[in-house]
Structure 1
Protein backbone atom coordinates (compact mmCIF):
# COMPACT_ATOMS: atom_id res chain seq x y z
CA UNK A 1 0.00 0.00 0.00
CA UNK A 2 1.13 3.53 -0.70
CA UNK A 3 0.13 7.18 -0.60
CA UNK A 4 1.49 9.65 -3.16
CA UNK A 5 1.36 13.42 -3.55
CA UNK A 6 1.14 14.25 -7.26
CA UNK A 7 2.06 17.73 -8.47
CA UNK A 8 1.04 19.22 -11.82
CA UNK A 9 4.58 20.33 -12.73
CA UNK A 10 5.77 16.71 -12.78
CA UNK A 11 3.07 15.54 -15.20
CA UNK A 12 3.49 15.16 -18.96
CA UNK A 13 0.87 17.17 -20.83
CA UNK A 14 -0.62 16.13 -24.14
CA UNK A 15 -2.14 18.68 -26.51
CA UNK A 16 -5.22 17.96 -28.63
CA UNK A 17 -4.29 18.78 -32.25
CA UNK A 18 -3.28 22.46 -32.42
CA UNK A 19 -6.03 23.62 -30.05
CA UNK A 20 -5.36 25.08 -26.62
CA UNK A 21 -6.67 21.88 -25.03
CA UNK A 22 -4.32 19.94 -22.75
CA UNK A 23 -4.60 16.73 -20.71
CA UNK A 24 -2.24 15.10 -18.24
CA UNK A 25 -2.53 11.79 -16.42
CA UNK A 26 -1.58 11.91 -12.74
CA UNK A 27 -2.48 8.28 -12.12
CA UNK A 28 -2.05 5.66 -14.80
CA UNK A 29 -0.47 2.30 -15.60
CA UNK A 30 2.73 3.10 -13.70
CA UNK A 31 0.82 3.68 -10.45
CA UNK A 32 -2.51 1.84 -10.88
CA UNK A 33 -3.48 -1.32 -12.69
CA UNK A 34 -7.17 -0.41 -12.83
CA UNK A 35 -7.79 3.29 -13.50
CA UNK A 36 -6.54 6.65 -14.74
CA UNK A 37 -6.99 10.09 -13.20
CA UNK A 38 -5.70 13.45 -14.32
CA UNK A 39 -6.73 16.90 -15.45
CA UNK A 40 -7.74 18.66 -18.64
CA UNK A 41 -7.55 22.38 -19.25
CA UNK A 42 -9.19 24.36 -22.02
CA UNK A 43 -7.64 27.80 -22.49
CA UNK A 44 -9.97 29.31 -25.11
CA UNK A 45 -13.78 29.43 -25.07
CA UNK A 46 -15.55 27.89 -28.04
CA UNK A 47 -12.94 25.27 -28.93
CA UNK A 48 -14.38 21.84 -29.68
CA UNK A 49 -12.84 18.44 -29.13
CA UNK A 50 -14.43 15.30 -30.61
CA UNK A 51 -14.04 12.05 -28.70
CA UNK A 52 -15.51 8.54 -28.50
CA UNK A 53 -15.22 6.56 -25.28
CA UNK A 54 -13.98 2.97 -24.99
CA UNK A 55 -14.08 3.32 -21.18
CA UNK A 56 -16.23 4.93 -18.47
CA UNK A 57 -15.24 8.40 -17.26
CA UNK A 58 -16.26 10.87 -14.58
CA UNK A 59 -15.46 14.57 -15.02
CA UNK A 60 -15.29 16.97 -12.06
CA UNK A 61 -15.37 20.58 -13.23
CA UNK A 62 -12.90 22.73 -11.28
CA UNK A 63 -12.97 26.03 -13.21
CA UNK A 64 -15.09 27.71 -15.86
CA UNK A 65 -17.72 25.74 -17.74
CA UNK A 66 -17.53 22.81 -20.13
CA UNK A 67 -20.36 21.60 -22.35
CA UNK A 68 -20.58 17.99 -23.48
CA UNK A 69 -22.63 17.44 -26.67
CA UNK A 70 -23.92 13.88 -27.27
CA UNK A 71 -26.80 12.23 -29.15
CA UNK A 72 -28.38 15.60 -30.04
CA UNK A 73 -28.32 16.73 -26.39
CA UNK A 74 -25.96 18.82 -24.28
CA UNK A 75 -24.98 19.16 -20.63
CA UNK A 76 -22.86 21.97 -19.18
CA UNK A 77 -20.81 21.39 -16.05
CA UNK A 78 -19.63 24.19 -13.76
CA UNK A 79 -17.24 24.17 -10.77
CA UNK A 80 -18.23 21.54 -8.23
CA UNK A 81 -20.38 19.58 -10.68
CA UNK A 82 -19.68 16.13 -12.10
CA UNK A 83 -20.48 14.59 -15.47
CA UNK A 84 -20.51 10.82 -16.07
CA UNK A 85 -19.78 9.54 -19.59
CA UNK A 86 -20.48 5.90 -20.30
CA UNK A 87 -18.33 3.63 -22.45
CA UNK A 88 -19.42 3.72 -26.11
CA UNK A 89 -20.59 7.35 -26.03
CA UNK A 90 -19.51 9.76 -28.77
CA UNK A 91 -19.18 13.35 -27.58
CA UNK A 92 -17.96 16.80 -28.47
CA UNK A 93 -16.43 18.79 -25.64
CA UNK A 94 -16.93 22.53 -25.99
CA UNK A 95 -15.31 25.10 -23.78
CA UNK A 96 -17.96 27.47 -22.56
CA UNK A 97 -15.47 29.87 -20.88
CA UNK A 98 -11.78 30.76 -21.24
CA UNK A 99 -9.61 28.90 -18.74
CA UNK A 100 -12.00 26.05 -18.05
CA UNK A 101 -10.58 22.97 -16.32
CA UNK A 102 -11.63 19.57 -15.02
CA UNK A 103 -10.35 16.49 -13.25
CA UNK A 104 -11.11 13.14 -14.88
CA UNK A 105 -11.20 9.60 -13.57
CA UNK A 106 -11.49 6.80 -16.07
CA UNK A 107 -11.93 3.07 -15.76
CA UNK A 108 -10.09 1.24 -17.08
CA UNK A 109 -7.01 3.22 -18.12
CA UNK A 110 -8.15 5.48 -20.97
CA UNK A 111 -4.98 5.46 -23.10
CA UNK A 112 -4.47 1.69 -23.12
CA UNK A 113 -8.17 0.98 -23.63
CA UNK A 114 -8.54 3.58 -26.38
CA UNK A 115 -5.40 2.35 -28.20
CA UNK A 116 -6.91 -1.15 -28.31
CA UNK A 117 -10.39 -0.10 -29.48
CA UNK A 118 -12.33 0.85 -32.59
CA UNK A 119 -11.57 4.48 -31.65
CA UNK A 120 -7.76 4.11 -31.63
CA UNK A 121 -7.33 6.59 -34.51
CA UNK A 122 -8.45 9.36 -32.12
CA UNK A 123 -5.25 8.88 -30.12
CA UNK A 124 -3.32 10.35 -33.08
CA UNK A 125 -4.94 13.73 -32.32
CA UNK A 126 -2.86 14.05 -29.14
CA UNK A 127 0.82 14.96 -29.07
CA UNK A 128 3.26 15.81 -26.28
CA UNK A 129 3.52 19.50 -25.46
CA UNK A 130 6.67 20.95 -27.02
CA UNK A 131 9.21 22.36 -24.58
CA UNK A 132 8.05 20.26 -21.64
Structure 2
Protein backbone atom coordinates (compact mmCIF):
# COMPACT_ATOMS: atom_id res chain seq x y z
CA UNK A 1 0.00 0.00 0.00
CA UNK A 2 1.40 3.37 -1.06
CA UNK A 3 0.73 6.22 1.39
CA UNK A 4 1.43 9.89 0.81
CA UNK A 5 4.12 11.32 3.06
CA UNK A 6 2.99 13.44 6.00
CA UNK A 7 3.32 17.13 5.21
CA UNK A 8 3.66 19.64 8.02
CA UNK A 9 3.43 23.29 6.99
CA UNK A 10 4.37 26.36 9.03
CA UNK A 11 2.78 29.75 8.31
CA UNK A 12 3.95 33.25 9.28
CA UNK A 13 1.56 36.19 9.17
CA UNK A 14 4.41 38.34 7.80
CA UNK A 15 4.49 36.11 4.68
CA UNK A 16 0.72 35.76 4.26
CA UNK A 17 -1.18 37.52 1.47
CA UNK A 18 -4.14 39.42 2.96
CA UNK A 19 -7.34 40.30 1.08
CA UNK A 20 -9.61 43.22 1.95
CA UNK A 21 -12.80 42.16 3.79
CA UNK A 22 -14.23 45.33 5.32
CA UNK A 23 -14.07 49.09 5.73
CA UNK A 24 -13.99 51.98 5.46
CA UNK A 25 -14.29 53.12 8.05
CA UNK A 26 -11.22 51.24 9.18
CA UNK A 27 -9.84 48.24 7.36
CA UNK A 28 -10.26 44.49 7.73
CA UNK A 29 -8.25 41.87 5.85
CA UNK A 30 -8.04 38.07 5.86
CA UNK A 31 -5.14 35.85 4.81
CA UNK A 32 -6.26 32.26 4.21
CA UNK A 33 -3.44 29.77 4.80
CA UNK A 34 -5.14 26.37 5.09
CA UNK A 35 -7.50 25.77 2.19
CA UNK A 36 -8.74 22.90 0.04
CA UNK A 37 -5.25 22.28 -1.31
CA UNK A 38 -4.02 21.28 2.16
CA UNK A 39 -7.20 19.99 3.79
CA UNK A 40 -10.58 18.85 2.56
CA UNK A 41 -12.12 19.48 5.98
CA UNK A 42 -10.45 22.49 7.65
CA UNK A 43 -9.76 26.11 6.92
CA UNK A 44 -7.42 28.47 8.77
CA UNK A 45 -5.55 31.72 8.42
CA UNK A 46 -4.71 35.11 9.84
CA UNK A 47 -6.77 38.31 9.95
CA UNK A 48 -6.06 41.97 10.66
CA UNK A 49 -8.76 44.27 11.98
CA UNK A 50 -7.99 48.00 12.07
CA UNK A 51 -11.18 49.63 13.30
CA UNK A 52 -13.56 48.11 10.76
CA UNK A 53 -16.84 46.58 11.86
CA UNK A 54 -17.90 43.60 9.77
CA UNK A 55 -21.27 41.89 10.25
CA UNK A 56 -21.46 38.21 9.29
CA UNK A 57 -23.44 35.04 9.93
CA UNK A 58 -21.12 32.08 10.37
CA UNK A 59 -21.62 29.23 7.91
CA UNK A 60 -19.10 27.10 9.85
CA UNK A 61 -17.75 26.59 13.37
CA UNK A 62 -14.89 29.01 14.10
CA UNK A 63 -12.10 29.35 16.64
CA UNK A 64 -10.32 32.71 16.92
CA UNK A 65 -7.06 33.26 18.82
CA UNK A 66 -5.70 36.78 19.25
CA UNK A 67 -2.00 37.41 18.61
CA UNK A 68 -1.85 41.21 19.02
CA UNK A 69 -4.32 43.90 20.04
CA UNK A 70 -7.95 43.41 21.00
CA UNK A 71 -10.66 41.83 18.87
CA UNK A 72 -14.23 42.77 19.76
CA UNK A 73 -16.90 40.27 18.76
CA UNK A 74 -20.57 41.04 19.43
CA UNK A 75 -23.08 38.19 19.16
CA UNK A 76 -26.51 37.62 20.74
CA UNK A 77 -26.36 41.01 22.53
CA UNK A 78 -23.10 40.00 24.25
CA UNK A 79 -19.74 41.68 23.53
CA UNK A 80 -16.51 39.70 23.88
CA UNK A 81 -13.17 41.52 24.18
CA UNK A 82 -10.51 39.01 23.16
CA UNK A 83 -6.85 39.82 23.90
CA UNK A 84 -3.55 38.00 23.28
CA UNK A 85 -3.52 34.62 24.95
CA UNK A 86 -7.30 34.26 24.70
CA UNK A 87 -9.42 32.21 22.32
CA UNK A 88 -13.04 32.42 21.26
CA UNK A 89 -15.16 29.53 19.91
CA UNK A 90 -18.18 30.53 17.81
CA UNK A 91 -20.72 27.97 16.56
CA UNK A 92 -22.14 27.78 13.06
CA UNK A 93 -25.20 29.98 12.54
CA UNK A 94 -24.07 32.75 14.89
CA UNK A 95 -24.89 36.28 13.71
CA UNK A 96 -22.10 38.59 14.84
CA UNK A 97 -20.05 41.71 14.28
CA UNK A 98 -16.25 41.59 14.29
CA UNK A 99 -14.52 44.81 15.35
CA UNK A 100 -11.53 46.24 17.15
CA UNK A 101 -7.84 46.49 16.38
CA UNK A 102 -6.16 43.08 16.29
CA UNK A 103 -4.03 40.55 14.51
CA UNK A 104 -5.58 37.15 15.06
CA UNK A 105 -5.58 33.62 13.78
CA UNK A 106 -8.66 31.60 12.99
CA UNK A 107 -9.59 28.02 12.25
CA UNK A 108 -12.91 26.92 10.79
CA UNK A 109 -14.79 23.75 10.04
CA UNK A 110 -15.86 22.76 7.49
CA UNK A 111 -13.16 24.46 5.46
CA UNK A 112 -15.08 23.86 2.25
CA UNK A 113 -18.21 25.68 3.47
CA UNK A 114 -18.48 27.67 0.21
CA UNK A 115 -18.67 24.47 -1.86
CA UNK A 116 -21.20 22.90 0.49
CA UNK A 117 -23.45 26.00 0.44
CA UNK A 118 -23.39 26.59 -3.33
Q: How high is the TM-score relative to the length of structure 1?
A: 0.75
Partner SS, residue 113 of structure 2:
helix
Structure 1 gaps of 5+ residues are 121-132
Counterpart of 1:90?
95
Greater fraction strand: 2
Counterpart of 2:105?
103
RCO (CA 8 Å, sep 6+): is it higher in 1 or 2? Answer: 1
Q: How high is the TM-score relative to the length of structure 2?
A: 0.83
Structure 2 gaps of 5+ residues are 1-5
1:50–1:114 distance in 2 versus 1, CA, 3 Å: farther
Greater fraction helix: 1
How many residues align? The count is 111
Contact 1:53-1:114 at 8 Å conserved across structures: no
Contact 1:57-1:85 at 8 Å conserved across structures: yes
